[in-house]
Homo-oligomer: A and B are copies of this chain.
Amino acid sequence: MYKERVRALPQNGSSPTLEEVAKLAGVSRATASRVFTASPKVSPRAKRAVERAAEKLRYVPNRAARTLVTGRTDSIGLVIPEPTAFLFGDPFFPRLVRGISEVLSRRLVQLVLLMPQSAGDETRLEGYLSAGHVDGVLMVSLHGNDPLPDRLHERGTLVVLGGRPGASSAVSYVDVDNVGGARSAVEHLIAMGRRRIATITGPLDMGAGVDRLQGYHDALVKAGLNGDASMHQPGDFGQESGAAAMQALLDRHPDLDAVFCASDVMAAGALDTLRRQRKRVPQDIAVVGFDDSTIATSTAPTLSSVRQPIEEMGREMARLLLAGLDSGTAGGKRVILVTELVVRASSGKGVRE
């Protein structure tokens, strides 16, 4: 840590305190405080005096002191435990952040993004979060059974997850209907006459990965089609993993006529592989993605995809957290948002063979 004994934040002669503002304004500290907490009972005269004094001194209330007594920080943390290269590459996150920001900005709550990059980081982060640095925590992109949300919850920190947690958990979450979305995608492929349908799944240590596979499977079973394990190939939601998975599937099943990808980015990777293999899309193989992200309209051919309301997910997460903060209730709420299939060229009625 920094050198010991560096008392006072400002490097120069410490920042002004409420006491000093009060003195300059000729009122008591209590009255001055009331001005900054927007308390109703202050005379206009006193109010003006305090405001003038504060401006003159460039006074900013010390958050630590305020937090110590109110128990609030007016900021909330968004935790995304992904490597930076992933975090910044995936079109999912900016949309989520936008939704969250919208809601928080209105409430004047500061959003801080936290990106643990290692187990050590995550341990330290747990301390940071449970020590009262933030009023609540939003968390997305959970892998496996990351214990962090439950541990924070037990400690009394309010947590809202984006995406269902792996195991049963008392933590609130917002999710999209991944099973239903995947099912509708595959039902669409079946309706288009496809019969040998493979899937490139997301990471199977994530709810979204498992659930989309489940939806795929449900649709096949309902139609009496084969969807055994050789028809699944996991990816990590990234483009390269999609390309590799497509290749693996083709190696095992050269006669595939459709593939459902658990993300648009992976679908784009799959299209790359198909192009290299001289497979026509959709004539030879139909492709459907998931996310309906911007990339879906810039691929060739354009990509059919399951639209999920990511901004709304962010908004709902923020709302849930704020509501919890307001009411002082702990959690256990869950919200599931609907998805919608958007059909484009990649699954179109192509001439078969």
What is the interface of chain A, defined by CB distance below 8 A to chain B?
1-3, 6-12, 15, 58, 60-65, 67-68, 70-75, 77, 84-85, 87-91, 93-95, 97-98, 101, 105, 107-115, 117-118, 120-121, 124-125, 127-128, 130-133, 135, 155-158, 322, 324-330
Do the beta carbons of B70 and A68 come within 8 Å of each other? no
How many monomers of this chain does the complex have?
Answer: 2
Residue of B nearest to A38 (CB): B1
CA distance A20 to B99 in the complex (A): 41
A94 partner residues in chain B, CB cutoff 8 A: 84-85, 87-89
With a cutoff of 8 Å between Cβ atoms, the chain B residues found around residue A132 in the complex are 9, 62-64
User: Which 10 pairs of residues, A with B, have the shortest CB-CB distance?
Assistant: A10-B156, A113-B113, A64-B67, A84-B94, A88-B94, A63-B131, A112-B112, A64-B68, A9-B132, A2-B325
- Would you give the shortest CB distance from A78 to chain B, in whole angstroms? 9
List 5 extra interface pairs beyond A101-B117, A113-B113, CB under 8 A: A6-B71, A11-B329, A62-B131, A64-B67, A112-B113
Cβ contact of A101, chosen from B61, B84, B88, cutoff 8 A: B84
Partner of A114, one of B93, B108, B113, B329: B113
**Bound CA–CA A125/B12 (angstroms):** 21
- Determine which residue in A6, A11, A61 has the highest number of CB atoms from chain B within 10 A of its CB, and name it: A11
Are B112 and A114 neighbours in the complex by a CB distance under 8 Å? Answer: yes
Instruction: List chain B residues, Cβ under 8 A from A101.
Output: 84, 115, 117, 121
In the complex, 13 of the A-B residue pairs with CB atoms within 8 angstroms, ordered by the A residue number, are A10-B157, A11-B156, A12-B156, A12-B330, A61-B131, A63-B132, A68-B68, A87-B94, A88-B89, A88-B93, A88-B97, A101-B121, A110-B133
